[in-house]
Structure 1
Amino acid sequence: MNGWILAATLLLGAGLTAALWGVATGPLRRRVVAQNLSTAVACPGLLLLAQGYDRPSYVDLALVLALLGPVGTLVFARLLAPELAEDPPRAQGATRAAAVLGAVVVVAVCGATGPGRAMAKLLLTGVLLIGGNLVASRALTGAAQRPGGWGRGPLPWTKP
C-alpha cells in the first residue's frame, strides 16, 4: 500500500463516516450541510485513489462528481426551502475546511502528475469542486435567510 492509497483511505473513512452521521441524525440544516460536504470529501478521495492506483478514469469520476454534487445540494435545498428558512444552515467553517482540503489534494496530485492534459483535468476538477461547494454553501445560507426564500429577488451570491 502506498501513501496515496493510505491518505485516500483515511480521508474517505473519516470524512464519509462524519457525512453519513450528519445525514442520518440531527436537524435538517445539518443534513443539508453533510450532503454538500460529502461531495467535498469524496472528490479529493477519488483523486488520491486515481494517483495511488494509477487509474485516470477515477479523475473523470471525480470531475463528474465535482460538477453534479453542488447541483444536487441546490436541488435538495430548493425542495426543502420552507424548512430551511425556519432553521438556516451554518457551515462557513466546514465549507472553508473542505475547500482547503480540496485545494491541498489537487495541488499534491498535480505535483505528482506533472504538466500536461491530466494536470489540466485535475485543475478543472479542483475549480469545480471548490467553487461549486462554496457557491452551494453560500446559496444555502443566503436563500434561507432572505425573506421569501428561493426564487424571489437576486441570487444569493449577487449584490442587490
Structure 2
Amino acid sequence: MLAAAIPVLWGVTTGPLLRGVVAQNFATSVICLVMLLLAQGYGRPSYTDLALVLAVLGPVGTLVYARLLAEEDDKVPPQSRPATILTVTATVPVVIASCVAAGPGRAAVKVALVGLLLIAGNMTASQTLSGAYREPGEDRHG
C-alpha cells in the first residue's frame, strides 16, 4: 500500500486538478484491492464489505469531480489510461485469488462483485476524465 501511495501523492500534489482526480481514483482502487487481500488474510469478511462500499463510491466520486472540473481549462490532459490498465491488471488476479480463498458461496459472489465494480468503475471514470479535457477554444457541445 505504501508503494502505491508515492505515485498517488505525486499525482495529487503536482499538476492540474484532473491529474489529482485520476490519482484519487487510483488510490481508491488500490485500497479496495488491499481490503480484499486483508479480508482473506485475517479472515475478516467485514473488510470485503468495506471494499464493496469503496468500489461503488470511488468511481462515483471521480465522476462527480470530473463533472465539476469539466469547465476548468487545464493545459495538460489527464493520463488516466495507464492507471486504468494497471488497476484492471491488478484487479483480476486479486479477485480470482480471493474468490478461491473464500470458497463457493456468498463471500465469493461479493468478492467477484467488488472486482466487477472496480473494473467497470475505473473504465467509466477513465473515459469520462478523457472527455472532460478540451482544447482551448474547442466547443464541447457540438
TM-score (norm 1): 0.79
> What CA RMSD, in Å, does the superposition of the two structures yield over aligned residues?
1.8
CA distance in 2, matches of 1:51, 1:105: 11
Q: Which runs of 5+ in 2 are unaligned?
A: none
Q: In the alignment, which residue of structure 1 is the partner of 2:123?
A: 134
Partner amino acid, structure 1, of 2:128? A
| Shift in CA distance, 111/24, structure 1 to aligned 2, threshold 3 Å | same
CA distance in 1, matches of 2:59, 2:139: 22
Deviations 1:9-60 (A, max 9, x none): xxx1111232122112233232121011111111000001111111000000
Partner amino acid, structure 2, of 1:70? P
CA distance in 1, matches of 2:100, 2:139: 46
Q: How does 1:1-160 map to 2 (within 5 A)?
A: 12-83=1-72, 86-145=75-134, 147-149=138-140, 152=141
Q: How many residues are paired up?
A: 140
2:18–2:69 CA contact under 8 A, matched in 1: no
CA distance in 1, matches of 2:20, 2:139: 22
Partner amino acid, structure 2, of 1:61? L
CA distance in 1, matches of 2:37, 2:6: 18
Q: Which runs of 5+ in 1 are unaligned?
A: 1-11, 154-160
| Shift in CA distance, 22/85, structure 1 to aligned 2, threshold 3 Å | closer
2:91–2:119 CA contact under 8 A, matched in 1: yes
RCO higher in structure (CA 8 A, sep ≥6): 2
1:84 CA drift (Å): 5.5
CA distance in 1, matches of 2:132, 2:2: 32
1:148 CA drift (Å): 4.6
**Percentage of identical aligned residues:** 56
